[in-house]
Amino acid sequence: MIALDFFCGAGGLTRGLLNAGIEVVAGFDCEEDFRNTYENNNPETRFIHSDIKKLSLCDLAENIKLSFQDVLFAGCAPCQAFSKRSMSRKYGQDAGLLSEFGRLVEEALPGYVLMENVPGIAENRGQGVFQRFLRMLRKNDYLYACDTLDAKHYGVPQKRKRLVLLASKRKKPSLPKPKYGEELRPPVTVRETISHFPAIAAGESSSEVPNHIAASLTELNLERLKHTPLDGGDRRSWPEHLVLSCHKDNYQGHTDAYGRMFWDRPAPTITGRCNSLSNGRYGHPEQDRAISIREAAAIQSFPDDYVFFGSTRKSITTQVGNAVPVKMAESIGEEILRLCGS
C-alpha cells in the first residue's frame, strides 16, 4: 500500500506508517521550515511545501502511479483551536483545514482514509466541521471506525488521547487494539525512555546527543525548581516567598505547571511548549531543568537518531509537540495493512 501524508509536519505519522510497512510517497505541509527534519529522517519520501487549499487532484496524481482506489489519504490537521487547553481564536482556520482535507478525499475517493485529531473536534466548537466530514464519508459510501485512543496503550510513554478515524470503501475497518494496559504489558515509563540521556543543566546542550537542549531558567524559577520534590513534585511544596501571586490564598488549581514528571509513569501530553516549566508538568524528574527537546522527542516515541532541524528553537519544539507519536502511528499502520489483507 502507498500513502500520502497531509499536514506531515516533522514526519511522526510518516515514520510510523513506514515502520509498519506502508510506502509513504509524499508528505505535504505549508511550513517550509519543517522540510529538513522530514527529508533527512525519511529520505524515501518527498516533502512538498504546499497549502492544502491550493492542492488539486493533478498535484496529487503526480506523486503516485496507482489508482487513488489503492491509496491511503492520511490527514492530521492542526488542532489547537479544538483542544481543551486552548483559548485560540484560530477556530475558523483550523476548521477550514479539515474541510479542505475532506474536499480532497471527496474528489479523489481514495481506498482508505485516516484522520487523527484531538477529541475536542467531536465536541462543542468542532462538532459541526467533524459531522460534515462524517456526512461526506457516508455520502461517498465509506465505512468507518472512530474512537478516542490513548497513545500510552501503544507503547508511547505518554498519556495522549486522540480521536482516530479510519475509513475504507471496501469493508468496515477496526482500530488497533491496545498493546499496553490492564492485563497487558505495563505502559512504558519516563524512566525507560529518557534516563539514558546525559545530564545537562538548564540552558545547556549536549555535544554528543542531537537536540538534547534544555531551556534557560531565571534565577527565581531555578530556585522554585530546587524546592520542587524529585520524581513528581509540584509547586505545593514551595516556601511562601516563591509562590506566584496567582497561586496564593490556598489556590489549588493548575498544580502541573512547574511540576516534575514522575519517573515510573507515562509522561503527560507533550505539546509545542514542552520545554517550558510554566506550561505543564515538564520538569525533569530529578535534574533542575525542564525536559530537553531530545527527551520530549523520545517521549513522542521518535528514535534517538531522528534529528530535528528548524530556523528557531520554537519551530523545533512545535515540530516535536505537534507530531503524531511514532509508535501509535505504527500500530494504526499495522491495522490498516491487516484490513487490506483480510
Q: How far apart are CA 337 and CA 342, in angstroms?
A: 9
- Phi, psi (deg, nearest 5) at residue 276: -115, 125
Residue 26: strand pairing partners: 4, 46
- What is the secondary structure of 69-88 as a DSSP string? GGEEEEE----GGGSTT---
Active site residue ranges = 79
Report how far apart, in Å, the C-alpha atoms of 197 and of each of 2, 183, 244, 260, 296 are: 36, 31, 31, 17, 12
* Residue 237: partners with Cβ closer than 8 Å, 6 or more residues away: 227, 228, 229
Give the chain's end-to-end CA distance (angstroms, integer): 14
Q: How far apart are CA 288 and CA 283, in angstroms?
A: 7
Q: Which of 31, 30, 38, 41 is nearest to 10 (CA)?
A: 38
